[in-house]
Chains A and B, each alone.
Chain A
Amino acid sequence: MRTPFRLGLAGLAAASLLAAGCSSSPSSSSSGGYNWSNATSAASGGGMSALVKAAKAEGTLNVIALPNDWANYGTIIKDFSAKYGIKVNSIQPSDSSAQEVTYIQQKKGTSVSADVLDVGGSVATASTSLFAPYEVATWSSIPAGLKDSSGLYVGDYGGYMSVGYDSAKFGTITSLSQLLGSKFKNDVALNGNPTEANAALNGVMMASLAEGGSAGSIADGVNFFHKLKVAGNFNTTQATPDTIKAGTTPVVFNWDYLNTASVVGQSASTWKLFIPANATLGGFYYQAINKDAPHPAAARLWEEFLFSQAAVGGQNLWLEGGARPAEQAAMTTNGSINQTAAAALPPVTGTPIFLTQAQATVAATYLAANWPKAIS
Chain B
Amino acid sequence: MAAATATKTGARPVRAGRRPPLAWVGTVPFLAYAGIFLLLPTGIVVWNAFKGNSGGWTLSNISALNTGPVRTAFKGSIELCVISSVAGAVLGAILAYAVASGNPEGLIRRLYLAGSGVLAQFGGVTLAFAFLATIGPAGLLFKAGWYSNFPWGIGLIYAYFQIPLMVLVFLPAIDGLKIQWREAAENLGGSTWHYWRYIAGPLLTPAFTGAALLLFANALSAFATIEAWEDQINYVVPQSISGSLISEVGLANAHEGDALALGLIVVVVIVMTGYFFLQRRAARWQS
Are the C-beta atoms of A237 and B248 separated by less than 8 Å?
Answer: no
Are the C-beta atoms of B232 and A375 separated by less than 8 Å?
Answer: yes
Identify which of A5-13, A133-141, A165-173 touches chain B. Answer: A5-13
Interface set of A (CB-CB < 8 Å, partner B): 1-2, 4, 6-10, 13-14, 17, 95-99, 102, 119-120, 122-123, 126, 186, 190, 192-198, 201, 234-238, 246-248, 360-361, 363-365, 367-368, 371-372, 375-376
Q: How close is B21's CB to chain A, nearest CB, in angstroms?
A: 33
Q: How close is A188's CB to chain B, nearest CB, in angstroms?
A: 12
- Docked complex Cα distance between A368 and B245 (Å): 14
B133 at the interface (CB under 8 A from A): yes
Are the C-beta atoms of A8 and B224 separated by less than 8 Å?
Answer: yes
Q: How close is A349's CB to chain B, nearest CB, in angstroms?
A: 27
Identify which of B98-106, B113-121, B156-164, B249-257 touches chain A. Answer: B249-257
Determine which of B41, B137, B230, B245 lies in contact with A186 in the assembled complex, contact meaning CB atoms within 8 Å: B137
**Further contacts, 10 of them, CB under 8 A, given A7-B125, A192-B231, A235-B137:** A6-B227, A6-B246, A120-B248, A123-B250, A196-B242, A196-B246, A196-B251, A236-B148, A363-B249, A364-B249
Q: How close is B242's CB to chain A, nearest CB, in angstroms?
A: 5
- Docked complex Cα distance between A365 and B251 (Å): 8
Are the C-beta atoms of A126 and B245 separated by less than 8 Å?
Answer: no
Are the C-beta atoms of A360 and B248 separated by less than 8 Å?
Answer: no
Residues of B within 8 A of A364 (CB): 247, 249-251
Q: How close is B157's CB to chain A, nearest CB, in angstroms?
A: 13
B132 at the interface (CB under 8 A from A): yes
- Docked complex Cα distance between A247 and B54 (Å): 45
Are the C-beta atoms of B234 and A372 separated by less than 8 Å?
Answer: yes
Tally of A-B residue pairs with Cβ under 8 A? 113
Determine which of A17, A190, A197 lies in contact with B249 in the assembled complex, contact meaning CB atoms within 8 Å: A197
B206 at the interface (CB under 8 A from A): no
Chain A residue with minimal CB distance to B124? A7
- Docked complex Cα distance between A119 and B69 (Å): 27
Are the C-beta atoms of A98 and B245 separated by less than 8 Å?
Answer: yes
Q: How close is A241's CB to chain B, nearest CB, in angstroms?
A: 14
B188 at the interface (CB under 8 A from A): no
- Most interface-central of B125, B229, B247 (chain A CB within 10 A): B247
Q: How close is A125's CB to chain B, nearest CB, in angstroms?
A: 9
B195 at the interface (CB under 8 A from A): no
Chain A residue with minimal CB distance to B234? A372
- Docked complex Cα distance between A234 and B245 (Å): 25
Mask of B217-255 contacts with A, CB within 8 angstroms, 1/0 = 000000110011111111000000011011111111010
B272 at the interface (CB under 8 A from A): no
Are the C-beta atoms of A360 and B250 separated by less than 8 Å?
Answer: yes
- Most interface-central of B37, B72, B137 (chain A CB within 10 A): B137
Are the C-beta atoms of A237 and B231 separated by less than 8 Å?
Answer: yes
Chain B residue with minimal CB distance to A126? B250
- Docked complex Cα distance between A376 and B249 (Å): 21
Determine which of B138, B148, B243, B254 lies in contact with A196 in the assembled complex, contact meaning CB atoms within 8 Å: B243
Are the C-beta atoms of B232 and A122 separated by less than 8 Å?
Answer: no
Are the C-beta atoms of A9 and B231 separated by less than 8 Å?
Answer: no
Mask of B91-111 contacts with A, CB within 8 angstroms, 1/0 = 000000000000000000000
Are the C-beta atoms of A236 and B248 separated by less than 8 Å?
Answer: no
Residues of A within 8 A of B228 (CB): 237
* Given A8-B224, A238-B231, A372-B234, A246-B250 contact (CB < 8 Å): no
B25 at the interface (CB under 8 A from A): no
B44 at the interface (CB under 8 A from A): yes
* Given A7-B224, A96-B246, A201-B249, A236-B137 contact (CB < 8 Å): no
Are the C-beta atoms of A361 and B232 separated by less than 8 Å?
Answer: no
- Docked complex Cα distance between A6 and B244 (Å): 12
Q: How close is B214's CB to chain A, nearest CB, in angstroms?
A: 18
Residues of B within 8 A of A123 (CB): 248, 250
* Given A10-B223, A186-B137, A236-B249 contact (CB < 8 Å): no
- What 7 A-B pairs are tightest by C-beta distance, nearest first? A97-B248, A236-B232, A238-B231, A122-B250, A98-B252, A96-B246, A364-B249
- Docked complex Cα distance between A376 and B149 (Å): 10
Cβ < 8 Å to A, chain B residues 67-92: 69, 72
Q: How close is A108's CB to chain B, nearest CB, in angstroms?
A: 15
- Docked complex Cα distance between A126 and B247 (Å): 13
Q: How close is B262's CB to chain A, nearest CB, in angstroms?
A: 14
- Most interface-central of B224, B231, B242, B243 (chain A CB within 10 A): B231
- Docked complex Cα distance between A120 and B251 (Å): 13
Residues of A within 8 A of B124 (CB): 7
Provide 6 A-B residue pairs closer than 8 Å at the C-beta atoms, listed in order of the A residue. A6-B242, A10-B223, A14-B37, A196-B251, A234-B232, A372-B233
Chain A residue with minimal CB distance to B137? A186
- Docked complex Cα distance between A119 and B246 (Å): 12
Chain A residue with minimal CB distance to B224? A7
Residues of A within 8 A of B69 (CB): 372
Q: How close is A53's CB to chain B, nearest CB, in angstroms?
A: 36
Determine which of A6, A246, A248, A376 lies in contact with B224 in the assembled complex, contact meaning CB atoms within 8 Å: A6
- Most interface-central of B133, B138, B243, B248 (chain A CB within 10 A): B248
Q: How close is B271's CB to chain A, nearest CB, in angstroms?
A: 19
- Docked complex Cα distance between A193 and B138 (Å): 21
Q: How close is A257's CB to chain B, nearest CB, in angstroms?
A: 17
Q: How close is A16's CB to chain B, nearest CB, in angstroms?
A: 12
